[in-house]
Structures are given as structure tokens and as C-alpha cells.
């Protein structure tokens, strides 16, 4: 259960993809003055040293954030994301990558609040130390799925649940489907973003079909694929489903994802997808 450590993969193409979307969701929450709440269910260690033996062993960041770091003429949204990463790199050299709780915490306003959950016995104390002293942030050694029961609905009427499981255990898609049903009952109008890997096409397509049956007014799917999905073993792409997405996010992602693909692709057969799984009339 606790074999996965994100330090080996920090800053890879999947991190770039999901965190570009995360920044867009947080920016959308900024458009109203009322405070918002964020629950990060799979927070990880918070900040990753890209010069560490773990990061250097695999070097996945070289095909992820390192490519974006050195790219000029970015769209405003991708430039915004890169500026968030740059805030953790005081020199012009890329040496650190912030995980989701650090990115979220950086984009909290004075009245906003974050609960970050991490059950891993090695990762939790690192996250706790990393977030020590951060205003309006609670760090809990707690299973993210249990946190949905404990912290929803929040006292704030608006906000985001960000779910980024490692998929190291079988049945993760089933747990996510159950989590969506629970959130529909407890916080139907809250925004939810769920990341998933694409190793083969069939499991995520079955997940989409099940998600499409949920009683939500709008559910958007965004995907980035670097290789054909029938390629040999490996993670060929990944996706995020967004429940109750902000207005015009679909148009923004249709513009951003092809740009991101051009920066990150490893061959000539990459693909992007932005599609409504559920769309209310009108």
C-alpha cells in the first residue's frame, strides 16, 4: 500500500498537466470575493528536490517541467503556471518542484483554507514540516477517502476537492466512483478534480461511462496523451475529470492542451481531448 513515492516522478509530464489545470481552477475561485475551501486528498510530501537521488534516478522531470522551464512565448496561462514553479526556485536554475499542497497554499488568499491529507508514514512528516507555519492550512495523517466524510461539506459554500491517487492498488477507479457518489450527497455544488493515468484505454473509458451516470449538472474530461494508447507497457497519457467546472474552462483547455502537447510530446502521435461527460441543457 505504501510502496509508491512521488519523489521519483515529481515534475513529470503528468504533474505538469494536472497542475496546469489545478492553477486554472484556483484562479477561477479567485474571481469571487467569498472565501473558498480546498481538500487535497492525496497530498504527498509537498515539495520535491529535483537534484535528489530519487529524482535523478529516473529523471522524469527532464521530459516534464524542464521542457516548459526552457520554453519561450508561452500562453498567459502556462506562463502563470511556470511562475508558480519559479517561486520555489530562487535562481534561474530548476531545482525544486512543488506538489499540489504547496501550489494550493501559494494561491490561497487570507480568508481561504486548505486541508491536506497524506497517510504515508514517510511522506506525512515531510509534508507536515514543509507546511509548518502556513496560514489557514491543516495537514492530516489521514486517508483521503475518509477525509471526504470528515470534512465535507465545509463551512465555506464554495471550493475544490483535488484527488490525485497513486493508483498503486487495484480498484482505484471503483473507489473514485464511490467518492463521487458520496460528494454528490454531501457537497453537490462543490468543484471536484480527479486525476487518473492512462496505461490502457479501456479502464478509463469504463470510468468515464460510470461518471457520466452521476447526478451532477456538468462534468468535463481533459486528457493529454504522449503516445498511442495501444503502445507497449507504460503510462501513455493521463486525464483529469472536473465536476462543476468553472465557466469557459473547456474553451481554455482546448487552447492550452495542444500547446502543452507540443512542448511535452516525445514522438509524433500525441493527442489531447476535452469533452463533456455530462452537460446541462443550455
Eight-class DSSP state of 216 = -
Residue 13's region, left for phi above 0, alpha for psi from -120 to 50, else beta, is: alpha
Polymer length of the chain: 282
Q: CA 211, CA 251: separation in Å to the nearest integer?
A: 21
Block residue for cell numbers 483521503: 144
- Per-residue CA distances from 240 to 142, 163, 237 (Å): 23, 9, 11
Strands 159-163 and 218-225: unpaired
Helix, strand, or coil (residue 218) = strand
Q: CA 272, CA 194: separation in Å to the nearest integer?
A: 17
Instruction: Calculate ∠ Cα 239-245-64, nearest 5°.
Output: 35
- Per-residue CA distances from 183 to 5, 96, 158, 215, 271 (Å): 27, 34, 13, 11, 31
Whether 241 contacts 219, CB under 8 Å? yes
Alpha-carbon dihedral angle through residues 17, 153, 178, 8, given to the nearest 10 degrees: 30
Block residue for cell numbers 483535488: 162
How is residue 7 written as a grid cell?
519523489
Active site positions, annotated: 164
Amino acid at each position: 500500500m505504501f510502496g509508491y513515492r512521488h519523489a521519483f516522478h515529481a515534475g513529470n509530464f503528468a504533474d505538469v498537466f494536472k497542475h496546469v489545470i489545478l492553477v486554472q481552477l484556483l484562479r477561477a475561485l479567485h474571481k469571487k470575493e467569498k472565501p473558498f475551501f480546498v481538500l487535497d486528498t492525496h497530498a504527498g510530501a509537498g515539495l520535491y528536490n529535483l537534484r535528489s537521488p530519487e529524482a535523478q534516478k529516473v529523471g522524469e522531470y527532464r521530459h516534464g517541467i524542464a521542457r516548459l522551464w526552457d520554453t519561450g512565448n508561452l500562453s498567459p496561462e502556462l506562463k502563470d503556471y511556470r511562475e508558480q514553479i519559479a517561486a520555489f526556485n530562487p535562481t534561474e536554475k530548476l531545482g525544486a518542484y512543488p506538489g499540489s499542497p504547496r501550489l494550493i497554499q501559494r494561491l490561497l488568499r487570507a480568508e481561504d483554507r486548505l486541508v491536506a491529507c497524506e497517510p504515508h508514514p514517510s511522506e506525512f512528516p515531510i509534508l507536515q514540516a514543509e507546511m509548518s507555519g502556513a496560514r489557514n492550512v491543516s495537514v492530516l495523517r489521514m486517508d483521503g477517502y475518509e477525509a471526504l466524510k470528515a470534512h465535507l461539506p465545509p463551512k465555506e459554500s464554495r471550493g475544490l476537492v483535488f484527488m490525485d491517487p497513486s493508483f498503486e492498488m487495484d480498484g482505484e477507479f471503483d473507489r473514485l466512483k464511490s467518492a463521487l457518489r458520496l460528494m454528490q450527497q454531501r457537497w453537490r455544488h462543490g468543484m471536484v478534480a480527479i486525476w487518473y493515468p492512462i496505461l490502457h484505454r479501456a479502464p478509463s473509458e469504463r470510468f468515464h461511462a460510470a461518471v457520466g451516470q452521476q447526478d451532477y449538472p456538468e462534468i468535463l474530461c481533459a486528457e493529454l496523451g504522449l503516445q498511442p494508447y495501444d503502445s507497449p507497457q507504460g503510462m501513455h497519457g493521463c486525464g483529469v475529470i472536473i465536476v462543476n467546472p468553472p465557466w469557459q474552462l473547456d474553451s481554455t483547455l482546448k487552447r492550452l492542451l495542444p500547446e502543452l502537447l507540443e512542448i511535452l510530446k516525445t514522438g509524433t502521435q500525441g493527442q489531447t481531448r476535452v469533452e463533456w461527460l455530462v452537460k446541462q441543457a443550455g
